[in-house]
Chain A
Amino acid sequence: MENQANNNLLEVTALKTWIDTEGGIIHAVDGVSFNIRPGETLAILGESGCGKSLTALSILQLIPKPAGRIVSGKVMFSGENLLEKSEQDMREIRGRRIAMIFQEPQSSLNPVMTIGQQIKEVIPDRKNKSSVEINKDIVGLLDSVGMSDSVRRINEYPHQLSGGMKQRAMIAMALASKPDILIADEPTTALDVTIQSQILNLLARLKKENNMSILLITHDLGVVSQMADRVILMYAGEVVEDADAVSFFDAPRHPYAQKLFLSIPDRSKRKKKLDIIPGIVPTYAGDYQGCRFSERCDKAWDLCFQERPQWRAQEKNGVRCHLYNNTLEPQETSDKNIEQGLITADEKQDKAETLLDVKQLKVHFPIHKGIFRRVVGHVKAVDGISLKIGRGRTVAIVGESGCGKTTAGKAILQLIKPSSGEVIYDGARLTKITGEELRQLRKNFQIIFQDPYASLNPRMLVGESIAEGLHALKLESSKAAIQTRVKKLLTQVGMPVDSYGRYPHEFSGGQRQRISIARALAVSPDLIVCDEPTSALDVSVQAQILNLLNDLQNELSLSYLFITHDISVVEYLAHEVAVMYLGRIVEFGTAADILDNPLHPYTQALLSAVPVISKTGNTGYKGDSQVLLAGDIPSPSKPPAGCHFHVRCPQATEICRQQYPAETKTGDSHTVFCHLFESDEQH
């Protein structure tokens, strides 16, 4: 790490940032060192709570005060130590020489100022420029970040822009003064996958054009693989591995890195249990003896618990692990490894008995206007979807945000009243049933939500929450019976029995998700709608939840309607896949059909937009192999005429602009709504 010192643009040495909390002092960043060379993209990778963002904020002295403080370390930038600079001097650096963009473009832009006004504030030397010149600068910046219609955008307010556009505006602001380093803190986490690929490509292009360095903070291995030249992996405030991207993706060395790769779901692991990292990232108050990863590491032996491993540098790369200490022989590992093996006996291709049949389901929300609240239009959140779920099968609905997948899930469960269409559950027509009868049927279908923090009532004991359905539907009579049942459920989802009498805030996100699953299971349903149950969780915890869902399916032959935007989860879990775009299903088929042979141009674009972890590391532009989509999802209140997708579709023809395509069967199990395939059949 210490070589080529002169060449480095930014050198961070032994940075320590501590945070005072009621529970004690948390060593959030504990001796982090790294360098960034000019024109290089350095990715800081790690799960939430590892201190990635705090490291970046410490560089700019932006840590939350007075709780946080930088205890020691050096941040050398163009020959000066930034940590010794005064607040006034730092202002000259921030935004001018080191710029930063954040995860939530929503909250980073001031809602009461136009985009032009906000960018104007960061234009360098603006006092000596005429307003015409400044306007020209702004338009130039907006053009350079690929903002369409840049002249009009200047006078628009943030709420008029889509999420991707807002992030572009943020990047434009960051670039205004041509910084040497751009710190991007999870720049695409809040964005859809097709928009994400647009932004990542933009960043890669700008980096090349301006010869700028990027410090990319992310938890997404795919993004790292696509963008980074160099990777540092952080765990609980420490750097545990520092390597160039190629060798990191080729052969990760730290057990944590290895485990991270193994816990990502994908097709190759389809029939297997995911390799999980037990537990969660710890937050240690005060000093910690030994390796911080030791408790979750299956290669740990006694020394790992006693002594903090030293940094072992090998050429340019380095790792913090006892395994790489040549003077020590690793002793026999305490065998904490979880059983690995096949979980599904076989993938039944035969048609299972149909449990749920959705026919032409529509959910239209009226738009009211004026004093008399006249209905002036409808948001067609779900616009006629049909699908079938067999017993014990998993059907995934995939789509970007705003495509209506969550609404569809809730409408199927009658949590939102559908406007028309039918939902037939095991012979019962749910759309026709109301009141008490529907209430009694509710035990058959349940839902798990995305946000583990909003899905449990913070004022109720975990046990009470789980028992709620048993009470409401009078499934168990006596108190004792309910308690035994709840405790059994807790064990079933892998929670300690004593969580019964505790409150949700005592648990981590993954644990809360387990509790939500237990609550849904309490009434022994046959169908569970899983609304992005893992997208708010870290990779290692996601693997735990996916394994649990898989186990439960095998044990109880549950059916899942799995709503997600994450293709890798679909690959791992789904039997059938429905791709949704703007309220309609554009393609439906078995997982193999969709993933191996995507027909609809949207499906193709969606699949190619997913950042792929490649062993060769930094891929930058994906070039021809990637179908890049232009623009954003149109509003569901005014869907484009004809095929909804034609505006963004690279293969659109005249007929696509006029007529919505009909259903085309291209195989036993594969249907697609696209004119491209329709014509073959008609002739």
Chain B
Amino acid sequence: MLDFTFKILVTDALLYLLVTAIIIFIVYARKHEHLSAPWRQIKNKKLAMSALVILGFFVITGFLDSVHIRQEIKIDNTSKNQQQVAQYSNEVLSLLDLLLTKMRQQTEKTYSAPFAINSFTKEVADGEQGKPVLYYPRLKYGGAHLQAQDSRIYDIGKRLLWALFWTLSVLVFCILLIAKITDSKNNIENKHINIATRLKNIISGNTNTPWLTILLVMSIPVFFISSIAELGPYYHIMGTDQVGNDVLYKSIKSIRTGLLIGTLTTLIILPFAVVFGITAGYFRGWVDDLIQYIYTTLSSIPSVLLIVAAILSLQVYMTNNPESFATLIDRSDIRLLFLVMILGVTSWTGLCRLLRAETMKLRELDYIQAANSLGVRHRRIMSRHIFPNLMHIVLITVVLDFSGLVLAEAVLSYIGVGVDPTMDSWGNMINGARLEMAREPLVWWNLTAAFVFMFILVLAANIFSDAVRDAFDPRLRKA
């Protein structure tokens, strides 16, 4: 009998849907040369693959954080209750939460600096002769295992060495794995080469796919993860926030929020943009006028205004109907979903315009005319002739929009209309840091942690999207 049950949040379900869609797309693309060729080109680019590796770690983290469970509550009085109805905790935890249990549970009283073993703020205690004394108390968890303060550096160093050891072991394992995998691919050149030569090729960077670069880039997050595993339970690596929560844990938890906003929004954008864009461009006339009217109206309203209105009305609804939302996490999840939807509704117009213009160009092409003269129906012309020829634009836009949306979340949370305040997100962290920046001495780690995580994600996404655009842009491909 399992001692937990799965809890699928709405956004989780959508994410699973998206992942399925991506897998289906990959299978489809493998069969279609015009889709798979650009990806093969990306595969051989060093910078793009480095960005992809980093993105991959973010995605895995986000995905682990999207598998939610409720643990069984162990109750002693089972004897009374013969029916043995399993009781599950109201607390919804993700796989990531379970992996980082220590970091999650070890909360201090309030602020503490990175790797600190004493609190950041002074406390009053009764000193000798009943005089109140101000002092920095030891943290409850951070460095609690240390006897003397001096041994801290030594302890951290020792643990980092262990982390390095783990990293190297993972790398060695990966190299062997890659050497094995490249063998199974029926690459004619590689077929007769033994494993030693292949290893040499990988290490000397003499492979089509830049394995050496990938491995080197990969070693950074791997080292980071093993450091967390080594140091996380004993120190607050990035300090703690006002209520004593581990900042690093919060930053990692924020990855899911950022990713969901960046990806799920496109799920909302795509049907609007594709259907409206193609029909407007293909049929012209009054259909075009109507759709143009809709999107010019929509894009002339400031999108922040729309988002504020939508989020506030949702809040009112949630306060009036508390019974619909069982738990806190349900509430914040619905709010996230709503934000994603409203962001999607306000941002499909750009892609729609692009697709409409491109469709208008395509519909005049000879092969569309030929299809017309062969009596092919409109729906089929749009789906078979026009849509596949727009695919590259869709792909480029989706990837380029991703980083913009991650940043949009931060801005919206900062002005208070973003995700739920209880939800971990970089925007909320930055919002919280407003007051911390005004403190003396400065509490810098909250802002820094949010900034570093967001920066790495957005940078990786931008580099990757540049590569995607280059690979799919027909004008660049010719050059």
Contacts and interface: CB of A to CB of B under 8 A. Distances in A.
B230 to A, nearest CB: 47
B25 interface: no
Given A449-B366, A472-B377, A458 B34 contact: yes
Contacts of A472: 371, 374-377, 380
Contacts of B372: 415
B318 to A, nearest CB: 46
A18 B365 CA distance: 34
A598 interface: no
B366 A503 contact: no
B374 A459 contact: no
Contacts of B317: none
Contact of A468 (B33, B34, B369, B376): B376
A429 interface: no
Contact of B369 (A410, A503, A522): A410
Interface in A467-503: 468-469, 471-473, 503
Contacts of A523: 374
B465 to A, nearest CB: 22
Given A459-B34, A503-B34, A454 B367 contact: yes
Main secondary structure of the interface of B (DSSP, over half): helix
B374 A455 contact: no
Given A454-B365, A454-B367, A459 B375 contact: no
B375 A443 contact: yes
A460 B377 CA distance: 17
A456 B371 CA distance: 10
Given A449-B366, A458-B34, A459-B389, A468 B371 contact: yes
Contacts of A473: 374-375
A415 B369 contact: yes
B32 to A, nearest CB: 8
Contacts of B380: 472
In order of increasing CB-CB distance, the 4 nearest A-B pairs are: A469-B374, A449-B366, A455-B366, A442-B375
B389 A457 contact: yes
B73 to A, nearest CB: 56
Interface string B387-414: 0110100000000000000000000000
Contact of A457 (B33, B375, B385): B385
A440 B377 CA distance: 11
A212 interface: no
Contacts of A455: 366-367, 370
Nearest to A453: B366
Interface string B348-392: 000000000000000001110111111111001000110011010
28 contacts: A410-B369, A413-B373, A415-B372, A442-B375, A446-B373, A446-B374, A447-B369, A447-B370, A449-B366, A449-B370, A454-B365, A454-B367, A455-B366, A455-B370, A457-B367, A457-B388, A458-B34, A459-B34, A459-B388, A460-B384, A465-B367, A468-B374, A468-B376, A469-B375, A469-B376, A472-B375, A472-B380, A473-B375
A534 to B, nearest CB: 15
Contacts of A458: 34, 389
A473 to B, nearest CB: 5
Interface string A511-540: 000001001101100000000000000000
A522 B388 CA distance: 23
Contacts of A244: none
Interface string A86-105: 00000000000000000000
A99 to B, nearest CB: 27
A417 interface: no
Contacts of A503: 33-34
A86 B380 CA distance: 57
A294 to B, nearest CB: 30
Nearest to B369: A415
Contacts of A459: 32, 34, 385, 388-389, 391
A408 to B, nearest CB: 15
Given A451-B366, A519-B374, 18 more contacts: A410-B369, A439-B375, A439-B377, A442-B374, A449-B366, A449-B369, A454-B365, A455-B366, A455-B367, A455-B370, A456-B367, A457-B385, A459-B34, A460-B388, A468-B376, A472-B377, A519-B370, A520-B370
Nearest to B390: A459
Interface of A: 410, 413, 415, 439-440, 442-443, 445-447, 449-451, 454-460, 465, 468-469, 471-473, 503, 516, 519-520, 522-523
Nearest to B387: A459
A442 B377 CA distance: 12
B393 to A, nearest CB: 13
Contacts of B377: 439, 472
Interface string B173-190: 000000000000000000
Contacts of B366: 449-451, 454-455
Contacts of B385: 457, 459-460
A452 to B, nearest CB: 9
A449 B380 CA distance: 21
A440 B367 contact: no
B373 A447 contact: yes
A412 to B, nearest CB: 11
A520 B369 CA distance: 12
A365 to B, nearest CB: 14
Contacts of B388: 457, 459-460
A516 B370 contact: yes
A503 B367 CA distance: 14
Nearest to B368: A457
A451 B366 CA distance: 8
A459 B373 CA distance: 19
A491 B34 CA distance: 26
A458 B391 CA distance: 12
Nearest to A442: B375
Nearest to A446: B373
B360 to A, nearest CB: 15
Contacts of A451: 366
Contacts of B32: 459
A515 B366 CA distance: 13
A520 B371 CA distance: 10
A443 B32 CA distance: 29
Q: Which of A445, A449, A458, A460 has the most chain B CB atoms closer than 10 A to its own CB?
A: A460
Nearest to A520: B370
B157 to A, nearest CB: 50
Nearest to B374: A469
Contacts of B365: 454
A142 B230 CA distance: 82
Q: Which of A445, A457, A465 has the most chain B CB atoms closer than 10 A to its own CB?
A: A457
Q: Which of B33, B366, B371 has the most chain A CB atoms closer than 10 A to its own CB?
A: B366
Nearest to A522: B374
B330 to A, nearest CB: 43
A442 B389 contact: no
A471 B371 CA distance: 11
Contacts of B389: 457-459
Nearest to A464: B384
B286 to A, nearest CB: 13
A649 B371 CA distance: 41
A465 B370 CA distance: 10
Nearest to B380: A472
Contacts of A440: 375
Contacts of A456: 367
Contacts of A457: 367, 371, 384-385, 388-389
Nearest to A531: B366
A339 B113 CA distance: 91
A469 B371 CA distance: 7
A443 B376 CA distance: 11
Nearest to A438: B375
Nearest to A452: B366
A641 to B, nearest CB: 33
A222 B336 CA distance: 72
Contacts of A446: 373-374
Contacts of B376: 468-469, 471-472
Nearest to A445: B373
